[in-house]
Amino acid sequence: MADEINNTEAAAGNFIQDFIREDIAEGGMYEGRTVHTRFPPEPNGYLHIGHAKAVCIDFGTAEKFGGICNLRMDDTNPTKEDVEYIDAIKEDIRWLGFDWDDRFYFASEYFEQMYEYAVELIKKGLAYVCELTPEQVRENRGDLTTPAKSPFRDRPIEESLDLFERMKNGEFEEGKMTLRAKIDLASGNFNMRDPVIYRINRIRHHRTGDKWCIYPMYDFAHPIEDAIEGITHSLCTLEFEAHRPLYDWVIDNITAPCKPRQIEFSRLGINNTVMSKRKLRQLVEDGYVAGWDDPRMPTLCGLRRRGYTPASIRNFCEKIGVSKTNSVVEYSFLEHCLRDDLNENARRVMCVLHPVKLVITNYPEGKTETFEVENNPQKPEDGTRTITFSRECYIEAEDFIEEKIKGYNRFYPGNEVRLKSAYIVKCTGCKKDENGKVVEVYAEYDPATRGGDTPDGRKVRGTVHWVDADNYLEAEVRLYENLFTDPEPDVGDKNFLDYINPTSLTVLKGCIIEKSVEGAQAPMSFQFMRLGYFCLDKDSTPDRLIFNRSVSLKDGYKKK
Ligand code: ATP
Ligand code: MG
């Protein structure tokens, strides 16, 4: 992480921007063109925080140069697409604050052109129909010292043209033949050893239906999609680095309308979670989580429901920077970025998670007084709210112990404690039920300490939060921990499902919250004083308030 998180580097731009500046300075094809990027998700799942990094780089880089970025559904592979995902992807990108204007495309819109380009390659003697089965292709791929082989490589152009057309017309079985680019069977880069560029696949496509039974491979399709859309810089993750020669080969050998440049950056990994859509889908489908937007999921909809703000995620993506080395970022750094935002912007309220009643025995019965307190000390412009105080209030059960222990400054008989923003009270004892459980705590208040200050300057160490027992709302509060107990649950031959954290969700019912939250809408965030940042869940209703803990107050991220 150390080399990824580097503010000065981020501020000075990054290597992608340097490359683009070079391209602009060199003129040539970039003369007069705006920088044009694209974000090309495969619509086979919801976007996750790794995608957010790519979105920020793709849209952010274009923005930086006054350019534009397209949103393109990379739906050339007919097996996995689902329409449900497309709307979610759009919603998530808009939520992050990016806009593709009217430039929303499907790669499948270009199938006809891709087919034409494939024919062009065959006519140029640069592609041929190969009848090796996928297995045989594998067996014949050679090794570092032995070139690959295909007995069909030198088949006449006319024959390939005829077979390719018949492949398209559905005359052959799946797996019977493929179209391969004729490049270099001895290349040290195996991607260049006559890669398959079209295969037969008798699967209905969610947009083109049964029109096609041959589909282009990613390495052939992607550069064409980019070229058709006039993309100048095709930014992608590092695993495509070894595919770049093929990307360039395709562009160089078809009559492409423009010559995009592929630039790779490192993939984002975060510990204690998994990031692959396939694995995330499994968590959903097998019921390990409540859905794609379960607040424990690293999906953008999950993070949003958890209380993450667009600003916190964009800030996170900015701070981790862009590099060429894959690395795993600590989850606590993501939390750190959220805390930074919420500390600045969230309203403070008091909420008691494990309530026990505190009775102020010398406070008049039936009396109520009010206090004006700041909504957010970080932001005086956010104004104040009124909280009420009466003879009884709720405090956290853990803020009372019967016998003093060293270092404990809260309620125990004889000790003075500050009820935040209200009064200093002195604990006098408690009442227990037949099982020995504390059901009420008693205290006496000092009327001279209104607001929580001692007029004589005497020291009161402990300050606790509380809620007026005469004026409150009940809430359900959901506490979350990591979804996985292992920092790297899917590395090596580990099965990530073996590391599911059984206590990743704790539901607390009957929590007591001050009434000032009335009317707030999900996903509004609050700081529950002393407890952390919480946001209203989307399932929350005025009759049944539900809060999710977004992040605790304590920063687990240590600056290295
Ligand atoms: P997954 O394995 O999660 O399905 P993917 O790469 O197959 O990921 P795509 O929908 O193809 O998912 O990704 C769209 C874009 O997002 C691609 O450009 C991809 O490189 C980028 N991307 C995906 N995952 C990450 C990640 N963890 N970090 C950075 N970029 C990512
Ligand atoms: Mg993919």
Q: In terms of domains, do 218 and 309 share one? A: no
CATH number at residue 323: 2.40.240.10
Residues 145 and 104 in one domain: yes
Position 25 scores a pLDDT of 85
Burial of 390 (0-12, 13-18, 19+ CB in 10 A): middle
Backbone torsion region of residue 278, taken as left when φ is above 0, otherwise alpha when ψ lies between -120 and 50, otherwise beta: alpha
3-state secondary structure of 411: strand
Q: Indicate whether residue 391 lines ligand 1 (CB < 6 A).
A: no
Into how many domains does the chain fold?
A: 3
Does ligand 1 lie within 6 Å of residue 374's CB atom? Answer: no
Tell whether 488 is covered by a domain.
yes
- Dihedral angle sign, alpha carbons of residues 75, 81, 87, 93: negative
Which tokens hold the place of 349? 């309220």
Domain of residue 360, residue span: 351-465
The predicted pLDDT at position 86 comes to 94
- The DSSP annotation for 9-24 comes to HHHT--HHHHHHHHHH
Atom of ligand 1 nearest to the CA of 44: 10
The whole-number pLDDT of residue 5 equals 45
* Nearest Cα residue to 480 out of 546, 398, 394: 546
Residue to mutate, 14, 51, 81, 274, ligand 1, most ligand atoms under 8 Å from C-beta: 51
C-alpha closest to that of 201 among 134, 150, 141: 134
Nearest-CA neighbor of 528 among 477, 468, 453? 477
d(CA 282, CA 292): 10
Sheet containing strand 178-181, edge to edge, reads: 127-130, 178-181, 196-200, 214-216
- Classify residue 366 by its DSSP letter: T
Q: Are residues 430 and 544 in the same domain?
A: no
Cβ 276 under 6 angstroms from ligand 1: yes
Among 242, 265, 288, which residue terminates a domain? 265
Helices (H), 321-391: 331-345
Whose C-alpha lies nearest to ligand 1, atom 20?
237
Give the helix/strand (H/E) hosting 138: helix 134-139
Domain assignment present for 294: yes
Same domain for 281 and 384: no
Which of 395, 430, 465 is the last residue in one of the domains?
Answer: 465
327 and 364 in one domain?
Answer: no
Q: What is the pLDDT of residues 513-540, one digit of tens each?
A: 999 999 999 999 999 999 999 999 999 9
Residue 9 domain-assigned?
no
On whether residue 289 sits in a domain, the answer given is: yes
Domain for residue 185, yes or no? yes
Those residues of the chain that have pLDDT short of 70 are 1-12, 28-32, 79-81, 558-560
Evaluate whether residue 470 is within a structural domain. no
d(CA 202, CA 215): 9
Residue ranges near ligand 2 (ion) with Cβ within 5 Å: 42
Residue 399: count other Cβ atoms within 10 Å of its Cβ: 23
- The answer to whether 267 is a known catalytic residue is yes
The encoded tokens of residue 371 equal 């206090």
| Residue 116 appears among annotated catalytic residues | no
278 Cα nearest atom in ligand 1: 4
Tell me whether residue 367 is one of the annotated catalytic residues. no
Q: Are residues 93 and 222 in the same domain?
A: yes
Same domain? 414 vs 547: no
For the stretch 448-506, pLDDT in tens is 999 998 899 899 999 999 999 999 999 999 999 999 999 999 999 999 999 999 999 99
424 part of a folded domain: yes
Of 77, 309, 281, the closest CA to residue 199 belongs to: 77
For strands 347-349 and 392-396, give the pairing: unpaired
Give the residue, by CA position, lying nearest to ligand 1 atom 9. 41
For residue 368, count other CB atoms closer than 10 A to its CB.
Answer: 12
| 429 and 389 within one domain | yes
Question: What is the residue with the minimal CA distance to atom 4 of ligand 1?
Answer: 277
Same domain membership, residue 194 and residue 113: yes
Looking at the fold, whether 248 and 296 belong to one and the same domain comes out as no
Structure tokens at 319: 């701070």
Residues 443, 516, single domain; the answer is no
CB 441 within 8 A of CB 427: yes
Ligand 2 center–CA 451 separation, angstroms: 58
Judge if 431 and 290 occupy the same domain.
no
CA distances from 133 to 136, 138, 142, 175 (A): 5, 9, 15, 6
**pLDDT of res. 560:** 45
- Report if residue 118 sits inside a domain: yes
Q: What is the predicted pLDDT for the residue at 559?
A: 55
Domain C-terminal end among 265, 290, 324: 265
Residue entry with tokens 């560029």: 197
Catalytic entry in 267, 426, 450, 530: 267
Q: What is the CATH number of the domain that holds 125?
A: 3.40.50.620
